[in-house]
Amino acid sequence: MDRDRVRISYVTDRTVFTVLNETARNLGNKPALHQPTGKGGYRTYTWEEYCRVAREIACGLRKLGIAKGDNVALFSETRAEFYLADIGIMASGAVAAALYTSYPLPDQIRNLRFSDSRMIFAEDAVAMRALQRAAEPDGLNVRWVLLTGDAEPGLDAITLDDLRAIGRGALAADPDYFDRIHAETKGADPAILYLTSGATGEPKMGLTSHGALVSNIDMGPRVLPLTADDCTIAFLPSAHIAQRVVVQLVPMRMGCAVWFSEGLSKMPSEFRSVKPTFFLAPPRVWERVYASVSNELRKRGALARRMFYFSLGLGMEAGRLRQQGKPVPGWMQRALKIANRAVFSKIRERLGGRLRIAASGAAPLGKELAEFYSAIGMPLVEGYGLTEGGVVSFNPLDKPRPGSIGPPLPGVEVRLADDGELLVRSPCLFSGYYKDPESTAAVLRDGWLYTGDIGEMDGEGYMYITGRKKELIVSSNGKKIYPSRIELLFKSEPVINQVVLIGDRLPYVTALVTINTANAESLPGMHEFKGREMSEMAAAPPVQQAVQRAVSKANRHLADFERVRKFRVLERDFSIESGELTPTMKVRRNRVLENYRGVVSELYMGREESQ
């Protein structure tokens, strides 16, 4: 099979399974994975069991005819059984190809066929039947394994337990069977087939090798000091590199236990019970926590609000002084101790009270939002990574800089092209796009990955992403505008969910806005709109006025040619189903503009109205 791989020099020839085996030897019967079983119960897998199950799955796959280099798909939410199957597939020498479960089913079928997958691990019989119906009338020529539940009568599938039993039988007959299988796999061999999220175009599939993955997670101890005493909660889609590397493979490398979430609605109670010490989430989650705090604050009395904002101002000023290397005055330190006990500790308790590494990834984080969390004593540590380059950078835990993605990881080289595009060279680069040599050649040139992100770097090596090259707006008078930098100014506005800027080859900048209905309902004057449709709330005068204030506030930070002159509050939020959001909630700008072509036209009809 032609995989169109690009040759890269690897630092290691260890495989992903080798890393799990090393951890299992060191930690044995300590807990590794905790899968919810309902009513507050969990099924716990130890590190030794995790390793043994992966071996059994690998041997079972070979016995069923899955060969080294074959693609095997996974269609499941993030759960312990996904982790077990994922590592088992890679241990067998096959390539694990996880799908985003939130994509429409016709897209899933197209991706499955393009990936040449020979087997599909489906979460359960319901997921399997959904894929089968979507594949009619041609069907899918694959074998099926159910990660959970039983294989119903008439269902041509085996369960994960059945697959493990086949593997155990093979090992009982030949104790060296797994060792021979694993010995065939080298660092340069493909391990994962990623489906890119498609934020700036149609999704592609990227192959990443064992060597690239292991090189990346071997950088973890230098920037994420996790141990067997740490734990995290996993909830992001496993098809995404942030989840796969940072919440699956890095904890596996460092012995950090993973608790699996039953969903966003259950997460508040899970934080209270699990009390994680490490947590990675995209900015949308951190924005929701902030919005929830702001919403509750509106309901408090004037004294409580004054105390909160005074405390927050102290925390932010102390943060600025530390950033500048200046001492925090004694009176401020004493005041902050009181603020911490009375205000900040209660916010941190929402996240379990033990969180020492709060990380943001998968999308850019607004500077104001980062400053808020830093002020309350829980600095968000932002990093940067991409499917094609692995995790590239991470802010130091002892000196994070709001708005920065941090310096490059040890072993990663970066430089800026003449036009500001960030280029990356490291042993963690992907091998190429699957069956797409032209796209591969466009991003991998002379050993460097052309990321498509526009960046800056300060004198101490901290990097800043200012926009996407493909999303650059050039106004009709030739001025260059990076929309993501401006959109981030709205991230700390509780009433606003999403903002998309418009203005390419047009005389001025406009914006499409979606609202947070829960926070919109709490605005003064909104009592008569409570419980109404979002379309009615979007047109309500208090909402329009709140958005106008947010736009005016953002405009004060912008040059004249960057300022938002008009906006429209949309009648619904963006969604994955309509193609406007990726599975990690990043906005697909082109699809938004296509879906709202008529609204955009209206924003440019008549005279310009300065906001």
Domain containing 297: what range? 283-353+355-469
Half-sphere exposure in the Cβ direction for 8 (13 Å, CA):
34
**pLDDT at site 5:** 34
| Residue 4 pLDDT greater than 60, yes or no | no
pLDDT in tens, 191-203: 999 986 554 455 6
pLDDT score for 199:
46
pLDDT for 197 equals 55
Percentage, residues of the chain above pLDDT 70: 94
**Residue 432 CB contacts under 8 Å (≥ 6 apart), including other chains:** 3, 4, 5, 6, 206, 207, 440, 444
Q: Report the C-alpha gap between 582 and 258 in whole angstroms.
A: 25
End position of a domain, from candidates 469, 491, 509? 469
Looking at residue 63, its pLDDT comes to: 97
Range of weakest confidence among 263-267, 278-282, 527-531 = 527-531
Residue 248 has pLDDT above 70, yes or no: yes
Cβ atoms of 302 and 254 closer than 8 Å: no
Q: Find the CATH number of the domain harbouring 228.
A: 3.40.50.12780
Residues 230 and 303 in one domain: no
Question: Looking at residues 518-547, what average pLDDT do you find?
Answer: 86
Asked whether residue 278 is assigned to any structural domain, the reply reads no
| pLDDT at residue 7 is higher than 50 | no
Averaged pLDDT for residues 68-87: 97
Contact present, 90 and 189 (Cβ < 8 Å): no
- 88 vs 472 pLDDT, higher one: 88
Give the closest residue to 316 by CA, choosing from 379, 360, 372.
Answer: 372
Q: Give the highest mean pLDDT range of 76-80, 418-422, 537-541, 597-601.
A: 76-80
For 272-326, the pLDDT digits (tens) are 999 999 999 888 788 888 878 877 777 777 888 888 888 888 888 888 888 777 8
Residue-level pLDDT at 3: 33
Mean pLDDT of the chain: 88
Can you tell me the mean pLDDT for 81-109? 94
Co-location of 169 and 250 in the same domain: yes
Cβ distance 567 to 547 under 8 Å? yes
Q: Are residues 432 and 493 in the same domain?
A: no
Q: Which residues contact 31 (CB under 8 A, 6 or more apart)?
A: 44, 45, 46, 47, 257
Instruction: Return the sign of the alpha-carbon dihedral for residues 47, 48, 49, 50.
Output: positive
Among the listed ranges 239-248, 411-420, 448-457, 523-532, which one has the minimum average pLDDT value? 523-532
Residues 72 and 192 in one domain: yes
- The pLDDT value recorded for residue 20 is 98
Residues 445 and 477 in one domain: no
Q: Name the least confident of 214-218, 282-286, 410-414.
A: 282-286
More confident: 400 or 363: 400
- What mean pLDDT do residues 563-578 have? 88
Q: How confident is the model at residue 447 (pLDDT cuts 50, 70, 90)?
A: very high
pTM above 0.85, yes or no: no
**Domain contains 8:** no
Q: Do 248 and 291 belong to one domain? A: no
- Evaluate whether residue 231 is within a structural domain: yes
More confident residue, 212 or 368: 212
Q: Is the per-residue pLDDT at 377 higher than 90?
A: no
Q: What is the pLDDT of residue 476?
A: 65
Are the beta carbons of 400 and 383 closer than 8 angstroms? Answer: no
pLDDT computed for residue 312 by the predictor: 86
Give 472-520 pLDDT, tens digit per residue: 777 766 777 878 778 888 877 888 888 998 887 788 889 999 988 888 8
The pairing of beta strand 357-360 with beta strand 380-386: parallel
- pLDDT tens-digit readout, 326-342: 888 888 889 888 888 88
Counted domains in the chain: 3
Q: Which tops the pLDDT comparison, 6 or 46? A: 46
Q: Is the dihedral of CA 349, 353, 357, 361 positive or negative?
A: negative
Same domain, 316 and 344: yes
Residue that is written with structure tokens 């591969």 in the block: 440
Shared domain for 38 and 69, answered yes or no, is: yes
Report which of 566, 416, 456, 549 is spatially closest to residue 506, judged by C-alpha positions. 566
Domain co-membership, 79 together with 207: yes
Is 7 part of a structural domain of the chain?
A: no
The reply to whether 448 falls in a domain is yes
Q: What is the pLDDT of residue 580?
A: 84
445 pLDDT band, cuts 50/70/90, is: very high
Among 335, 420, 330, 434, smallest CA distance to 375 is for: 335
Domain boundary among 469, 487, 504: 469
Residues 24-45: pLDDT tens digits? Answer: 999 999 999 999 998 889 999 9
155 and 118 housed in the same domain:
yes
Provide the pLDDT for residue 608.
Answer: 47
Question: Is there a single domain that holds both residue 188 and residue 312?
Answer: no
Please give the helix or strand (H or E) that residue 502 lies within, else none.
strand 496-502
Looking at the fold, whether 404 and 529 belong to one and the same domain comes out as no
With a cut of 70, say whether residue 133 has pLDDT above it.
Answer: yes
254, 226 contact by CB (below 8 A) = yes
In a domain, 349, yes or no: yes
Averaging pLDDT over each range in 51-65, 127-141, 368-382, which range is the top one?
51-65
Q: Which two tokens stand for residue 301?
A: 């009395």
Of 442, 469, 496, which residue sits at a domain end?
469
DSSP-assigned letters across all residues of 368-428: HHHHHHHHTT--EEEEEEETTTEEEEE--TTS--TT--BSBPTT-EEEE-TT-EEEEESTT
CA 436 to chain centroid, in Å, comes to: 25
- pLDDT reported for residue 247: 96
How, if at all, do strands 205-209 and 190-195 pair?
antiparallel
Report the pLDDT value the prediction gives residue 2, as an integer from 0 to 100: 36
Higher pLDDT pick, 463 / 199: 463
Backbone dihedral angles phi then psi of residue 580, each to the nearest 5 degrees: -90, -15
Does any domain span residue 523? yes
